[in-house]
Amino acid sequence: MVKNTKILAISGSIRQKSSNTALMNAIIALSSEPMTFTTYRGLGNLPHFNPDIDIDEGPATVQELRSLLKEADGVLICTPEYGNGVPGVLKNALDWIVSSGEFVNKPTAVISASPSPMGGDKAHASLLLTLQMINAEIVDGGTMIIPHITLKLNQDGVITDSETKKEFLTVLRGLEQACSVR
Ligand code: FNR
């Protein structure tokens, strides 16, 4: 029997009409079995990282994130860039994971998208540094920087750019391959 590959998908934007959430959903729509996705929607509910409140198992919302990560074979992160950096809500979530270790050796794909011609490259680079620090395994073929995202989505948040869709398939293949050898 083929093993089910469980991916936790996280959008670094909590904005309702987020282009990053739209592209994350587009990637999920392109996936096929044995890959299954769970989308994490709790970024905005996590308390600000503070080691003083990381006692016992930590706050309930943090416990939820940690157990979702633990159960996942791999992680997909799609993020915008704010002020040349990683959105605070996403960095905050990763700060909660530094000491608990759920990202160690976890195959992880990282995508940034922005309306700018740079595609959120600085957030992308900074996110990779944090993920490397917490020993995530960055998937071969699993990193993508998407410039001019607003030209590649229609009003309903559907990806209309065929090249971008092709690259999504490469990201999916990379994730699947990395998860299958774990
Ligand atoms: C931005 N945006 C932005 N874009 C970028 O490429 N680099 C940046 O440093 C910033 N900084 C920034 C700050 C603030 C306060 C706002 C409101 C916006 C633009 C950002 O990429 C754009 O709003 C995206 O659409 C946000 O991503 P989602 O929510 O569509 O996924």
pLDDT of residue 155: 84
Q: Does pLDDT of 152 surpass 80? A: yes
pLDDT of residue 90: 98
CB atoms under 10 Å from CB of 102, counted, come to 19
Write the class of the CATH domain 5-180.
Answer: alpha beta
Question: Residue 107, preceding bond cis, omega within 30 degrees?
Answer: no
Q: Does pLDDT of 126 surpass 90? A: yes
Residues 6+ apart with CB under 8 A from 41: none
Q: Does pLDDT of 43 surpass 70? A: yes
Report helix, strand or coil for 48. coil
Average pLDDT over residues 77-95: 98
Average pLDDT over residues 82-104: 98
Q: Whose CA is nearest to atom 21 of ligand 1?
A: 114
What ligand 1 atom has the least distance to the C-alpha of 80? 27
Q: Does pLDDT of 17 surpass 70? A: yes
Q: Whose CA is nearest to atom 2 of ligand 1?
A: 82
Q: How far is the CA of 180 from the centre of ligand 1 (A)?
A: 35
Beta bridge partners of 8: 38, 75
Q: Is ligand 1 within 6 A of the CB of residue 14?
A: no
pLDDT of residue 1: 61
Q: Is ligand 1 within 6 A of the CB of residue 137?
A: no
pLDDT of residue 181: 87
Q: Does pLDDT of 156 surpass 80? A: yes
CB contact at 8 A, 109 and 41: no
What's the pLDDT band for 53 if we cut at 50, 70, 90? very high
| Prediction ipTM score | 0.99
Report helix, strand or coil for 160. coil
Average pLDDT over residues 45-55: 97
What is the domain partition of the chain in residue ranges? 5-180
